[in-house]
């Protein structure tokens, strides 16, 4: 079954009010990292302020410059090279986020968070935050169905992180399977249904 992920930016139908909200977008090193660019477009269209934290490995898949240009904010990839105006580093992000959305989330990232590892800006921010965190896993079907990954996802859920199930679809490595990046509209609808943000009455 193929899904249409092309319904992005202006075509996404959500009713939540994002104007003036601060959203930290975490991007990890999976093939679906390019969808981060579309997510930024959708959030910026709705006048949210978007701050991107990328893992070093994510920069192999999409450049910080691209996400910085689209988000209009400095992209942080290295915890030890934060700009001077972000003098408290990860603490700044942990305090100002109305929402932390990690999309896409690798098996590696999920494993780290589930096991208390905080060895980069993104995982450290998540460890330190009290903001709601939504995680959107995307990976090859075998990785997704791996018992260790499933146990880590269950741990995240138990600890209060919201995880959005991946979809069944075409995999980058060939064939079809479960594990592919969820539709952007589905991701945003799940966040909307969670009730973090006011919705417009239409």
Ligand X SMILES: Cc1cc2nc3c(=O)[nH]c(=O)nc-3n(C[C@H](O)[C@H](O)[C@H](O)COP(=O)(O)O)c2cc1C
CB of 141 or CB of 197, closer to ligand X: 141
Q: Which of 3, 17, 31, 73 binds ligand X (CB under 6 A)?
A: 31
Please confirm, yes or no, whether 33 is among the known catalytic residues.
no
CB of 76 or CB of 138, closer to ligand X: 138
Classify residue 10 by burial, with Cβ atoms within 10 Å: 0-12, 13-18, 19+: exposed
- With contacts defined by CB under 6 A, name the span among 74-82, 106-114, 151-159, 189-197 that binds ligand X: 106-114
* Positions of E strands within the chain: 22-27, 49-54, 99-105, 133-137, 162-163, 167-170, 176-180
Of 15, 95, 173, 194, catalytic: 173
CB of 127 or CB of 196, closer to ligand X: 127
Residues 6+ apart with CB under 8 A from 113: 123, 126, 127, 135, 152, 156, 161
Nearest to 24 by CA among 71, 81, 78: 71
Residue pair 148/111 in contact by the 8 Å Cβ criterion: yes
Give me the helices (H) in 50-180, please. Answer: 64-71, 90-96, 107-114, 121-128, 141-145, 147-158
Q: Which of 36, 76, 126, 143 binds ligand X (CB under 6 A)?
A: 143
Q: Which of 58, 62, 135, 187 binds ligand X (CB under 6 A)?
A: 58
CA distances 165 to 74, 76, 85, 119, Å, are: 29, 27, 36, 25
Q: Which of 57, 73, 146, 155 binds ligand X (CB under 6 A)?
A: 57
Binding of ligand X by 139 (CB under 6 A): yes
Does an H or E element contain 37, and which? helix 35-45
Q: Which of residues 157-186 bind ligand X (CB under 6 A)?
A: none
- With contacts defined by CB under 6 A, name the span among 42-50, 52-60, 73-81, 184-192 that binds ligand X: 52-60
CB of 157 or CB of 198, closer to ligand X: 157
Binding of ligand X by 117 (CB under 6 A): no
> Which spans of this chain sit near ligand X (rule: CB under 6 A)?
28-32, 55, 57-58, 106-109, 138-139, 143
Active site residues: 173
């Amino acid at each position: 079954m193929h899904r249409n992920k092309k319904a992005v930016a202006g075509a996404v139908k959500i009713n939540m009010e994002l104007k003036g909200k601060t959203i930290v977008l975490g991007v990890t090193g999976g093939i679906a990292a390019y969808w981060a660019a579309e997510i930024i477009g959708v959030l910026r269209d709705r006048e949210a302020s978007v701050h991107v934290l990328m893992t070093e490995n994510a920069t192999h898949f999409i450049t910080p410059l691209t996400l910085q240009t689209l988000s209009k904010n400095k992209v942080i990839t290295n915890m030890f090279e934060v700009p001077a105006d972000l003098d408290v580093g990860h603490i700044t992000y942990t305090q100002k986020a109305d929402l932390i959305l990690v999309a896409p989330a690798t098996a590696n990232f999920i494993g780290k968070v589930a096991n208390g590892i905080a060895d980069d800006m993104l995982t450290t921010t998540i460890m330190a935050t009290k903001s709601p965190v939504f995680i959107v896993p995307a990976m090859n079907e075998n990785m997704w169905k791996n018992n260790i990954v499933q146990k880590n996802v269950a741990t995240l859920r138990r600890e209060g992180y919201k995880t959005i199930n991946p979809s069944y679809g075409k995999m980058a490595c060939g064939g079809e399977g479960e594990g592919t990046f969820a539709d952007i509209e589905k991701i945003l609808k799940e966040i909307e249904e969670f009730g973090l943000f006011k919705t417009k009455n239409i």
